[in-house]
Amino acid sequence: MIESVQQLRQLVSPPPNRRDIDWDGVERDLGDELPADYKELIGIYGGGYWDNYLYILEPGCANDDYNLLDWKGWHTEVLEDLWEFEDKPAELNEDGARLLPWATTDNGELLYWLIRPGRRSDDWTVMVNEARGDHWEHFGHTCTQFLASALTGDIRSTLLSAHYFPLPVHTHRRLRPTDQ
């Protein structure tokens, strides 16, 4: 088990049923191999709502609003339009560097994987974009390292709401289908 996923298991008990996902099909649809820690996280917890604030996107999520596959297409277009009016974060100045969303918040902040050419998916790091603004933060962590470190307070984002995240006692809820 990946160390950061094990740390998350110690912070929050996983739900009783594991998710089985056709990762080959998902990665074929995305056009990218996903990080092993993310796949392990989704297999154990599914897409979910952490500390009543952070939504982890999941391929084929029961709640259509948090389907990773839908967010990828939508955000690729949104970001291309955004760069016409705002400067790209410095991390994206490298030819071929791009972003793929993996989480969002109640406030609308977005968390992305920073994908750099020639790097394996297990080396993707985290970018956070403020809701309705042009401020960005970069964290040299994988998504599960970021999540575990944010929950324990080992790292702090100035863009994520410190008033609501993390909670003193951590929680995780699976996302319900959209129509419930």
Average of per-residue pLDDT across 118-146:
95
> Can you list the domains of the chain with their CATH numbers?
3-155+163-174 (3.40.1580)
Write out pLDDT tens, residues 5-41: 999 999 999 998 877 899 999 999 999 999 999 999 9
Answering whether pTM is above 0.85, one says: yes
Lowest mean pLDDT among 52-56, 61-65, 135-139, 145-149: 61-65
| Structure-derived torsion over alpha carbons of residues 105, 162, 144, 65, reported in degrees to the nearest 10 | -10
pLDDT of 85 strictly over 90: no
**In the block, residue with structure tokens 């967010």:** 71
Whether the predicted pLDDT of 126 surpasses 90: yes
